[in-house]
Amino acid sequence: MINREFFEHAIVLKVKTYRDNDLIVKFLTPSYGVVTAFAFGGRKSRRRFSGCFEELSHVVFKWKSPLRRGYFYLEEGILIDRFPNIHKDKIPYGIAVNCQKFIEAVVIGNSYSKGIYKIFLELLKELDKGNSIFSRNIPIFFRAQIASELGYKPQLESCNRCGRLLSTEQKIFFSPIKGQSFCVKCTEKKNGYLALNKRAYLFLKEVFYSGPRDLMNKEGLTTNENIVVLGIQKFVETHLNIIWQKGKFVHL
């Protein structure tokens, strides 16, 4: 039977035992999104998959799909990086696992997966450096960036009503529910709109428009910026219909 064959970099998300010697492996790829495949004999294989089945590892996988069978199976793997420092410290490990669970919850199919893969890999590399005081808000920033890659990036450059450039304004209003921003003249005086000063507005733009490397040490330094963090949470929950509850992501 003719097989379809795939060969690509991947980040291992989850590994489960299947029967005595086999594994089920879920991994994120830049071209195919989240893939789930069988690794037949994977529990005992040292030659084909040496070091490839630790969660959060960066690997290269070769996998196939028998036509008309509807499943994938791994043929071999090459370990690129297991990010050892992440596993040594509960803080970066907790951040990485939270972000891993978010990807599993929201990534369906291969749409936009190249950007999502790039963001997650950059995050793991930064966490593995082990020489930073990591912001407790990194998972929230990560969710905002993934939401942007999924097509929900808010318009923050100009007023969504009159088109005025917001970079010239001293105060702007942001609606997490609408994913829109407004100048003072155009804002609707309704509950749920966040009034942001210039510094908080730039903080909001940085979260959505930059990568993990720029946000590893960012805390909300002022009351206004902490409001931004809460607004980002509301934005993600509203547009992706998902919340973090009792150690897992739950779809609303």
Burial 115-143 (b: 16+ CB within 10 A, else e): ebbebbbebbebbbeeeeebbebbbbbbb
One digit per residue, the tens of pLDDT, for the chain of length 252 reads: 456 889 999 999 999 999 888 999 999 999 999 999 999 998 887 789 999 999 999 999 999 987 666 789 999 999 999 999 999 999 999 999 999 999 999 987 666 689 999 999 999 999 999 766 788 899 999 999 999 999 999 989 999 999 999 999 999 999 999 999 999 988 876 667 899 999 999 999 999 998 888 888 776 667 777 889 999 999 999 999 999 888 889 998
Q: Which two tokens stand for residue 196?
A: 């942001």
Question: HEC string of 141-181?
Answer: HHHHHHHHHHHHCCECCECCCCCCEHHHCCEEEEECCCCEE
Give the pLDDT confidence score for residue 246 in this predicted structure. Answer: 84
Give the pLDDT confidence score for residue 220 in this predicted structure. Answer: 63
Domains of the chain: 3-82 (2.40.50.140), 85-154+191-251 (no CATH)
The residue written with tokens 């808000």 in the block is: 137
Q: Which two tokens stand for residue 222?
A: 């002022």
pTM for the model stands at 0.91
